[in-house]
Amino acid sequence: MAKAVNIARSHRLDGIGEYYFSRRLREIGEIEAATGRQIVKLAMGSPDLPPHQSVIDRLAKEAQRPDVHKYMSYQGEPILRKAFADWYKKWYHVDLDFKSEIYPLIGSKEGLMHICMTFLNPGDKVLVPNPGYPTYSAGVRLSGGVMVPYSLNKETNFYPDFDAIEKAGLDGVKMMFINYPNMPTGQVPTPELFEKIIAFGAKHNILIIHDNPYSFIRNASAPISIMAVEGAKDIAMELNSLSKGHSMAGWRVGVLVGKKEWIDSVMTFRSNMDSGMFYPLQAASETALALGEEWFKELNGIYYAREKQAYELLDALGCRYRKNQAGLFIWAELPEGYEGDSFAFSDEVMEKTDVFLTPGGIFGSEGKHYIRITLCCPEELLKKATDKIKAAFSK
């Protein structure tokens, strides 16, 4: 029998843990299997609603063609790039050259890593929101960069405090991640905020990366893009996605927009990692991008009904929250006077009620006194969770 070799994993994985939801949901599954308990999971933001039927029909139709099962262009097919350009013009009032300033992705999550690997050298610093999407910090670390958190809290209305960021020092900072409408806080942007961010990037020679997947979900304001700011193409790139606003998370269709020079650089890296997207997916995405206001009105009607039920759940817990949050979640403070952190609160609620709430601490230290509730589940399930919580916490 051959002797087993001893191979250590790469040091780039040092400090990179398993994705929280991957680990925690596996643990909950083990609890359910061992005890027979059924945990109501109000956790991940994976849309449970299907895309528009016309999108599904287009996919099925295109998949019947005999000529679409080959490798596709690394750049993305013109049909999809043109559709994204038209979409940006219609909704964001941004002019983009579909031939050179639009780069379709297999989901925007991969785009975050591609950007980090394209632009960061070991030791380069990156401003990352706290709280923020964990993939930002993972991408920075895996590419050899250094994460520099900046705080988002209720004192600054969950916007960056640029004076505090400058005071902390910007030596070696090359890039900044921002995300509005924000996840997890639900805060919406203003044109003035985007103008400040672009001015900040220009002043300090920092590449701004805006992650913008939540524009169309529970957003009472018109959707806006940072690329609409004058001069933004020389300072910023933007990621967008069909996962949330078009209920196509499993389809993995995203996009990166920006000036040709930077798009070409990202494509150089990514073309060495994978090939183009399946053509029927690209064609069906064209249909999705052409949907009008009726689609978003219907979609948001469902989410707003769920939001109302989630408010009742949070009230039963004694949590405090801001209304008019955007996106697929509600961000809420722990009950006043609660002495533990978000992890302890989440564990306590699950133990008492069989309802799992996301602890805000997974998004950074600024989230340690918050929880997050997903709206990606039927209203009936939220009602079930609410009833469980009322029964346990009213005693």
Instruction: Return per-residue pLDDT of the chain as tens, 395 residues.
Output: 777 888 888 888 777 766 777 788 788 888 888 888 888 888 877 899 999 999 999 999 999 999 999 888 888 899 999 999 999 999 999 999 999 999 999 988 899 999 999 999 999 999 999 999 989 999 999 999 999 999 999 999 999 999 999 999 999 999 999 999 999 999 999 999 999 999 999 999 999 999 999 999 999 999 999 999 999 999 999 999 999 999 999 999 999 999 999 999 999 999 888 888 999 999 999 999 999 999 999 999 999 999 999 999 999 999 999 999 999 999 999 999 898 899 999 999 999 999 999 999 999 999 999 999 999 999 999 999 999 999 988 75
Task: Report the CATH number that the domain containing residue 118 is assigned in CATH.
Answer: 3.40.640.10
Look at strands 236-241 and 254-257 and give their pairing. antiparallel
Of 135, 129, 242, 125, which is closest to residue 175 (Cα–Cα)?
125
- Residue 228 inside a domain? The answer is yes
Split into its structural domains, the chain has a count of 2
Residue 214 near residue 183, CB atoms below 8 Å:
yes
6 in any annotated domain: no
154, 176: one domain: yes
Contact 357, 371 (CB under 8 A): yes
Instruction: Report residue 103 CA to chain centroid gap.
Output: 18
CA distance linking residue 296 with residue 222, whole number of Å: 12
Residue that terminates a domain, selected from 289, 311, 326: 289
Q: Is 180 within the bounds of a domain?
A: yes
pLDDT score at 263:
96
Instruction: Tell me the residue ranges of DSSP E strands in the chain.
Output: 40-42, 102-105, 125-130, 146-151, 173-178, 207-211, 236-241, 254-257, 320-321, 329-333, 355-359, 370-374
Q: What is the DSSP code string of 118-143?
A: HHPPTT-EEEEEES--HHHHHHHHHT
Residue 36: give its domain's CATH number: 3.90.1150.10
Residue 344 belongs to what H/E stretch?
A: helix 342-353
Angle at 208 between CA 107 and CA 112, to 5 degrees: 25
Q: Are residues 333 and 197 in the same domain?
A: no
* In a shared domain, residues 254 and 276: yes
Same domain, 214 and 309: no
> Same domain for 153 and 273?
yes
> Are 118 and 40 part of one and the same domain?
no
Host domain of residue 223: 67-289
Six-digit token pair at 105?
A: 């992705």
**Is 265 inside any structural domain?**
yes
Residue 55 within any structural domain of the chain:
no
Tell me the HSE value of 135 on the side-chain side, using a 13 A CA sphere.
16
Q: Is residue 302 part of a domain?
A: yes
**58 domain-assigned:** no
